[in-house]
Amino acid sequence: MFGSVAQLWACGTVVCMRVYGVDHVQLAMPADREDNAVGFYEGLLGLPRIPKPAHLEVRGGCWFSNGDVTLHLGVEADFRPARKAHPALLVDDLVGLVERLRTGGAAVHRDQPLEGFDRCYVDDPFGNRIELMEPD
């Protein structure tokens, strides 16, 4: 369907393109809940809300970025939270962040260890799963 590996990666004798980063991750949210998103993503996770372009603002939702991480929350009419698929955010001071999240009313869940990381999961106000990881 997508061609052979040779067709995908070869352009004569040189690689023509590469994927080199992630601009943003988008999660879905229900309509008219931007205040809840701001309370969680900006208030608890510390990701400042940034303006959406005017032509996209009419769709609802909101964007957050600290310059290193950018998350977009887009309104989905038939919203269902992402329970398996999730972003994994690298953090400093996971212990302090977990305390902040719990104080803010968020349920934090530990999972099986992953070599090289202390990690946990938290649900955003809409039930989307967010993994938080701090390198050892």
* CATH classification of the domain holding 53: 3.10.180.10
Within-domain flag for 105: yes
Within-domain flag for 11: no
The pLDDT of 99-126, averaged and rounded, is: 96
Within-domain flag for 6: no
As for how many domains the chain has, the answer is 1
Domain that holds residue 29: 23-135
For residue 3, pLDDT beyond 70: no
For residue 14, pLDDT beyond 90: no
Confidence of residue 16 (pLDDT cuts 50, 70, 90): confident
Within-domain flag for 86: yes
Confidence of residue 49 (pLDDT cuts 50, 70, 90): very high
Structure confidence at residue 126 (pLDDT): 98
Within-domain flag for 85: yes
119: which 2 tokens?
A: 């990690």
Within-domain flag for 81: yes
**pTM for the full predicted model:** 0.88
Within-domain flag for 17: no
Q: Where are the beta strands (DSSP E) in 47-128?
A: 49-50, 62-65, 70-75, 88-90, 108-110, 117-123
Confidence of residue 18 (pLDDT cuts 50, 70, 90): confident
Confidence of residue 17 (pLDDT cuts 50, 70, 90): confident
Buried/exposed 69-88: b ≥16 CB within 10 Å, e otherwise? bbbbbbbbeeeebbeeebbe
Within-domain flag for 16: no
Residue 4 CB burial class (10 angstroms; 0-12, 13-18, ≥19): exposed
